[in-house]
Amino acid sequence: MSETTKTGAKQVTPAMVLLIATLGAFMGSFANSSVNVALPPLGKALGLGGLELNWVTTAFVLGSAAFLLPMGRLGDIFGRKRLYALGMAINAIGAILSSIAPGGAFLIAMRAFSGLGASMIAPTASTLVVAVYPPEQRGRVLGIIVSATYLGLSAGPFLGGFLTAYLGWRGLFLIHGVLAVLVLVLVGIFLKGEWQIAKGEPIDWQGTVIYALGLSALLIGFSALPGVRGIVLLIAGIAALVAFVYWERAHRHPLLDLGIFKGNRVFALSNLAALFSYGATFSVGFFLSLYLEVVRGMPPQNAGLVMMVQPVLMAVFSPLTGRLSDRVEPRFLASAGMLLTALGLAVLASIGVDSPLPLIIAALVSLGLGFALFSSPNTNAVMGAVEHRHLSVASATLSTMRVVGMSASMGIALVLFSLFLGNKAIGTETILPFMSAFHLAFVISAVLCVFGVFSSLARGRVTRA
């Protein structure tokens, strides 16, 4: 019996649910990645310094990460479609208000507000799709959603630059708002009924506050490393998250049912593998863009074309690997992907100032294929390892692993920059210390990927819940 029938929702067309979820995945990644290219003109127009510009991006990540897990639970209680639509509405409002922002403080607040909307969309999009497709097609449809995410990431810088050039940074935010409104209209027309697995159950508000404060402290701490403030926030964040675990174990209706980890080796180790994967790979673009533009002297558009190799391959192959994971044990595909990723990172760790460009492109090909092999099968394993009533929380947990891994990756990058360059700007006179930080960063990333391979293999065989 499908989850749609069990929850009393009217039958909907699975293809339309997939389309709406795919548009949401594309829009979220596109909106986030396209803003980065608008930061210079935005900063000039509003008179923002480097730290304030950093917060334009960080506020969105924090607003999303701190509420991912609570929103997964709220989706089960109040309805997944309702929460998805509310998230789109908040995104639309946040983007439109960002387009008329009079100053930096208002813009940063709206970015955090948009992040709150994103936290409602991320854990519900994939669960809506899983609810209307049979288990034997789960990998294929999740692969399509993953592909849409990578397509948004790869198209963001190019389309964002184009829109910023012709419409300005305010026009770019306005386009984000229009896209969110269009998806919201599709939800209203085509998604009838509701999916409520835990209707009537109370929400653990105390646990929500402890979790949100703890994760926020952890993520801000990563961004503030290696300073004393960063270390204090990291310790406080870890302490709060430990307190959260103890609170949840004693609560009758916990925000996070820790029972989905207990005895569920596939779920626990698949999430750990995701943490290693994002922790190893997220800073690749940061380091490589600086290498290509500063060390190699490439113009930004040429560097962008080189770096598009990785996300384009992810977008092309993720649906194929997702479909393959419906027939082949996901741990073997995901582990092979992690191994390919480790190989690509090892190649990048070995390149020098004058290394041939084809070698760099080959490393990016290895990274793109590796992540495509890992991501869709790993997502399929996570979603297939829990019962339907835990799907939203499972999706939110996986999204949290992604955000924490990304933050840890950038935290490592900031620590290495502080150690090797101090407060010096990156330029021709600091190429040697930059390359030292570059090499050590990719060595650390490759080692993390090796740990990820073992974590992925150790998860065992997926038994569909």
- For 381, the enclosing helix (H) or strand (E) is helix 357-384
Among the residue ranges 96-105, 121-130, 236-245, the one predicted with the least confidence is 121-130
Domain ranges of the chain: 1-199, 204-254, 256-465
DSSP helix, strand, coil percent of the chain (3-state; round to 5) = 80, 0, 20
Q: At residue 98, what is the residue type? A: S
Instruction: Give mean pLDDT, residues 216-229.
Output: 77
Q: Are the beta carbons of 348 and 442 closer than 8 angstroms? A: yes
Contacts (Cβ under 8 Å, ≥6 apart) of 54? 223
Instruction: Give mean pLDDT, residues 111-128.
Output: 84
Among the residue ranges 42-56, 63-77, 370-384, the one predicted with the least confidence is 42-56
Rg over alpha carbons for the chain, rounded to the nearest Å, is 21
CA angle (333, 335, 341) in 5-degree steps? 105
434-460, pLDDT tens digit by residue? 888 889 989 999 999 998 888 888 765
Is pLDDT above 50 for 4?
Answer: no
126-166, pLDDT tens digit by residue? 778 877 788 777 777 877 887 787 778 767 777 777 788 78
Q: What is the pLDDT of residue 339?
A: 92
Q: Are the beta carbons of 414 and 223 closer than 8 angstroms? A: yes
Among the residue ranges 116-120, 254-258, 447-451, the one predicted with the least confidence is 254-258
338-348, pLDDT tens digit by residue? 999 999 999 99
Tell the residue number behind the tokens 């304030």, with chain if given.
52
Q: What is the pLDDT of residue 151?
A: 78
Q: What is the pLDDT of residue 49?
A: 65
* The CATH number of the domain covering residues in 1-199: 1.20.1250.20
Q: What is the pLDDT of residue 1?
A: 34
Same CATH topology for 1-199 and 256-465: the answer is yes
Q: How far apart (Å, rounded) are the C-alpha atoms in residues 61 and 253?
A: 28
Note the pTM of the prediction, 2 decimals. Answer: 0.73
Q: What is the pLDDT of residue 334?
A: 87
Is pLDDT above 70 for 274?
Answer: yes
Tell the residue number behind the tokens 């290693």, with chain if given.
276
Q: What is the pLDDT of residue 465?
A: 47
Is pLDDT above 60 for 7?
Answer: no
Is pLDDT above 80 for 390?
Answer: no
Mean pLDDT of the chain: 80
Kindly report the number of other CB atoms within 10 A of residue 213's CB atom: 17
Q: What is the pLDDT of residue 413?
A: 77
The structure tokens listed for 239 are 């302490």
User: CB burial class (10 A; 0-12, 13-18, 19+) of residue 51?
Assistant: exposed
Is pLDDT above 90 for 100?
Answer: yes
Instruction: Give mean pLDDT, residues 290-312.
Output: 78
Q: What is the pLDDT of residue 200?
A: 66
* The CATH number of the domain covering residues in 256-465: 1.20.1250.20
